[in-house]
Amino acid sequence: MASAVVNTIFSTEMEALLALFTFSVLFLSALWLYAKSISKKAAPLPPGPRGFPVVGYLPFLRPNLHHQFTELARNYGPIFKLQLGSRLVVVVNSPSIAKQVVRDHDAVFANRDPPIAAIVGTYGCRDIAFAPNGTYWRDIRKLFVREMLSSANLRACHEHRREEVRKAIRSVRSRIGEPINIAVLASSTEINVITSMIWGSTLGSDEAKIDQIGAEFREIMGKFVAMVGEPNISDFFPWLARLDLQRVQARMENMVKILDNIFDPIIKEGVRIVCEKSGSTTKDDEKKDFLQILLELKNRDDNAGKSLDFQAIKAMLLDIVIGGTDTTATMVEWVMTALLDNPEIMKKVQKELEEIVGMTSIVEEVHLPKLKYLDAVVKETFRLYPALPLLVPKCPSQTTEVGGYTIPKDTKVFLNMYAIHRDPKLWDNPLQFSPERFLNQTFGLDYTGNDHRFLPFGSGRRICAGIPLAEKMLVYILGSLLHSFDWHLPKGEKMDLSDGFGLVIKKKTPLIAIPAPRLFNSELYQ
């Protein structure tokens, strides 16, 4: 009995010693790993200007952020930080560091940092531009590229693009000698093309209804984009968001109600048509618009159908209308501005048009790939006047080292393309408008985001999905306007190259120009 007790005590002591030994080994191992981890010093945060307590650098911000950020880059280098309220902001100003963000660490920086206005305006970030990286975003982007921007669909919509451009030319011809707002002209043309592609078959031949909807969107579009880019105190101090001190959220909610009043009847009609077709023997290859495709997918039981509801459909339609219209119209205005400010370059463009198209013909899409000099003019305009000079802000999903500095998780990251596109270390005479720099390039200087000196549409997985259509329409509209007419400023007017503030940078003063006919055969204008 006594022996059994002794054995039990001994066994218990051995177990305790073994446990203590194991704990000691684990504790010492943890200490060693910790010491090893801190022996490698973490990269510091980027440099940057100091601000005030609580508000940070906010009181020093000026309206045109891309100008101010470019000035700060001269003092603080290719990457710097700002504390704006409770938000840390990092600005990247060099192509090498931009490459690390959009290519080397693309997955980490694949999320957006949407302001409250964008969250509300896109039905909870259900669109392509602001949806978080993930299955839903990948599915809707693939759907957009496959159905909306496929080569077959772009070819199928050729006649409508042609008619809308010809309609614009006829409109200008009827106003010879009168001042014309170039942005309004381009916007009207572009929005008619886009809306035809996304719900043209749904509305059918009701041109009055189509024109009415186009006018309603033109009225809303500028206000929507301006509100998304408007500085909002709630974005810098999230704990103030419920107060909505600037009423940004309330104003955007009101705008969404207006959008719903436009979208809902169109979608209702689309649902009716899809239901009728589902019960008929309609051929599968019959022409459908993008809305009908979305509604058909919504009715499916697979993953694509489950991710689509009416809110998601409206978010995608809004994204396409605004993204496909506003930036293109803005760039038409900037290109025309640059050409009117450089008349000798405008003459070169028109000479190329004379040689490729001829003075007895009109511009057709078949001519566009041959207009090399006009293409260079457009790219040079994107370099000097990028529509999105800071692109759409990114937000890392985890703390990452970039350019030798630590970028904490959830930082708002801007790629300052305005600074990169005008960097004298990267471009000869960077402030000079010189399309020739884009001629005879063997690699890179295009819109695909492979050369990080030139990223007007971004790069990586979040590169703009609408490049094929935007590029085609931009050159088509410009070529038609420049081939059919000579242009000059109103008498006594001087060219204003200043830009305004916003997510999309427009001219501070709209471009007003006066046309004169160039083609001798008046029937070409009909």
Say what the pLDDT of residue 13 is. Answer: 56
User: What pLDDT is recorded for position 501?
Assistant: 76
Q: What average pLDDT score do residues 61-83 get?
A: 95
Long-range interactions of 104-107: CB distance < 8 A, separation 24+:
105/396, 105/400, 105/402, 106/460, 106/461, 107/133, 107/397, 107/461
What's the pLDDT score for residue 418? 97
pLDDT at 39: 44
pLDDT score, position 308 = 87
Tell me the average pLDDT across 302-317. 84
pLDDT at 28 over 70: no
What string of DSSP letters covers 335-397? HHHHHHH-HHHHHHHHHHHHHHT-TTS---GGGGGG-HHHHHHHHHHHHHS-SSTT-S-EE-S
The pLDDT value given to residue 512: 97
Is residue 489 over pLDDT 90? yes
**Mean pLDDT over the full length of the chain:** 89
Q: What pLDDT score does 18 carry?
A: 58
Q: pLDDT band at residue 300, thresholds of 50, 70 and 90?
A: confident
Measured CA to CA, the distance from residue 156 to residue 147 in angstroms comes to 12
Average pLDDT (39-49) is 84
**How many angstroms separate the CA atoms of 295 and 313, rounded?**
8
Instruction: List the single range of 18-22, 150-154, 301-305 with lowest mean pLDDT.
Output: 18-22
pLDDT at 4: 46
Segment 358-397, tens digit of pLDDT:
999 999 999 999 999 999 999 999 999 999 999 999 999 9
Residue 303 has pLDDT above 70, yes or no: no
- 115-150 in b/e form (b: 16+ CB < 10 A) is bbbbbbbbbebbbbbbbebeebbebbbebbeebbbe
pLDDT digits (tens, 9 = 90+) for 264-277: 999 999 999 998 88
Choice between 430 and 298, residue whose per-residue pLDDT is larger: 430
pLDDT digits (tens, 9 = 90+) for 46-56: 999 999 999 99
Cα–Cα separations (whole angstroms), residue 157 to 75, 191, 327, 465: 50, 14, 20, 18
pLDDT for position 9: 44
pLDDT surpassing 70 at residue 287: no
**Per-residue pLDDT, 102:** 96
Residue 256 tokens read as 């969404």
Q: Scanning the structure block, which residue is given the tokens 């200043």? A: 498
What is the pLDDT confidence band of residue 149, given thresholds at 50, 70 and 90? confident
DSSP lists the bridge partners of residue 28 as: none
Strands 87-92 and 412-415: parallel
Say what the pLDDT of residue 444 is. 64
pLDDT of the residue at 190? 92
Residue 502 has pLDDT above 90, yes or no: no
- Which has the minimum average pLDDT: 87-91, 115-119, 519-523? 519-523
| Lowest-confidence region among 62-71, 204-213, 247-256 | 204-213
Helices (H), 230-309: 233-236, 248-278, 290-298, 303-307
- pLDDT category at 93 given cuts 50, 70, 90 is very high
Out of 13-17, 344-348, 414-418, 500-504, which region has the weakest mean confidence (pLDDT)? Answer: 13-17
Average pLDDT score over residue span 213-221: 87
Q: Which of 518, 157, 185, 523 shows the shortest CA–CA distance to 365?
A: 157
Report the phi/psi class of residue 468: left, alpha or beta, with left for phi > 0 and alpha for psi in -120 to 50: alpha
Answer whether residue 215 shows pLDDT above 90.
Answer: no
Q: By C-alpha distance, which of 461, 338, 333, 451 is closest to 392?
A: 461
Q: Is the pLDDT of residue 2 over 50?
A: no
Distance CA 80, CA 36 (A): 29
> How does 191-220 read in b/e, with b if 16+ C-beta sit within 10 Å?
bbbbbbbbbbbbbeeeeeebeebbeebbeb
pLDDT for position 115: 96
Is the pLDDT at 236 greater than 80? The verdict is: yes
Which pLDDT value is given to residue 153? 84
Cβ–Cβ under 8 Å, residues 105 and 400: yes
7 pLDDT exceeds 70?
Answer: no
Global confidence as pTM: 0.89
Residue 10 pLDDT: 44
Q: What is the pLDDT of residues 407-465, one digit of tens each?
A: 999 999 999 999 999 999 999 999 999 999 999 765 568 899 999 999 999 999 999 99
